[in-house]
């Protein structure tokens, strides 16, 4: 059975999504295995091209959570995607890849694997990002290896695209809600959703000045997405 992910990315006159091949309905443990299928649909010709990454099955979308943005385009045309997880039973992926400008193939020379000791050092779970700004990526992910969804140490990070070094952004509280969306860029600031037992709202980070600011606090509920409306 062919299953398409719950996202469509507009890019260069085409639409990009992900395709899974499963052997039974909703069979998360029954994937084709060791391949990642990306589909690029040319809107004008209504034709599709399927590219494969043949090292493993990465999931860039998740049908149960429609509003998290784990894919974003950079000013140079690169498209960055994060595999939030494959299957919590099998193990979290926590990997970041990119499609280069005018390419439908995953860049074989650039990847961030959060299970590497310099990052999380084990099974990793990404809650938001990557969001590119200049030569940096902004992310929200758990600081320690994933154990369960009750963990409360999901922090904001800045990752250098060239060196792939990560730095936790101090001053932004930890998340404890797996359904938050983020980060989102408005003007010269990156906005991070924060949802925990004492605070629900948004913090901002200015990449130029490195200033962190609490921008808004919700009186009820939790933040799930932040969008700009045209005036």
The CATH number for 18's domain is 2.120.10
Which position has the token pair 């999380």?
Answer: 120
Is 179 part of a structural domain of the chain? yes
pLDDT of residue 150: 84
Is 225 part of a structural domain of the chain? no
Q: How many domains does the chain have?
A: 1
Q: What is the residue range of 107's domain?
A: 2-217
Is 117 part of a structural domain of the chain? yes
Write out the two tokens for 93.
């992926």
pLDDT of residue 62: 66
Is 231 part of a structural domain of the chain? no
Is 30 part of a structural domain of the chain? yes
pLDDT of residue 173: 95
pLDDT of residue 25: 54
Is 226 part of a structural domain of the chain? no
Is 157 part of a structural domain of the chain? yes
Is 229 part of a structural domain of the chain? no
Q: What is the dihedral of CA 147, 195, 80, 146, to 10 degrees?
A: 0
To the nearest whole number, what is the mean pLDDT of the chain? 85
Show the low-confidence residues of the chain (pLDDT under 50): 30
């Amino acid at each position: 059975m062919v299953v398409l992910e719950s996202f469509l990315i507009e890019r260069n006159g085409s639409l990009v999504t992900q395709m899974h091949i499963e052997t039974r309905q909703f069979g998360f443990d029954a994937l084709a295995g060791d391949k990642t299928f990306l589909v690029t649909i040319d809107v004008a010709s209504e034709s599709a091209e399927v590219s494969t990454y043949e090292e493993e099955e990465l999931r860039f979308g998740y049908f149960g959570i429609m509003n998290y943005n784990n894919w974003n385009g950079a000013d140079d045309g690169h498209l960055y995607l994060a595999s939030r997880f494959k299957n919590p039973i099998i193990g979290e992926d926590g990997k970041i890849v990119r499609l280069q400008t005018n390419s439908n193939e995953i860049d074989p020379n650039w990847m961030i694997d959060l299970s590497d000791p310099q990052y999380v050092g084990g099974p990793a779970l990404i809650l938001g990002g990557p969001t590119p700004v200049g030569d940096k990526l902004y992310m929200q992910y758990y600081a320690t290896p994933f154990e369960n969804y009750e963990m409360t140490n999901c922090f904001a990070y800045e990752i250098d695209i060239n060196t792939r070094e990560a730095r936790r952004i101090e001053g932004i509280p930890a998340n404890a809600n797996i359904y938050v969306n983020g980060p989102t860029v408005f003007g010269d600031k990156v906005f991070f959703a924060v949802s925990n037992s004492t605070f629900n709202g948004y913090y901002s980070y200015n990449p130029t000045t490195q200033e962190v600011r609490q921008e808004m606090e919700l009186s009820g509920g939790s933040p799930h997405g932040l969008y700009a409306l045209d005036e």
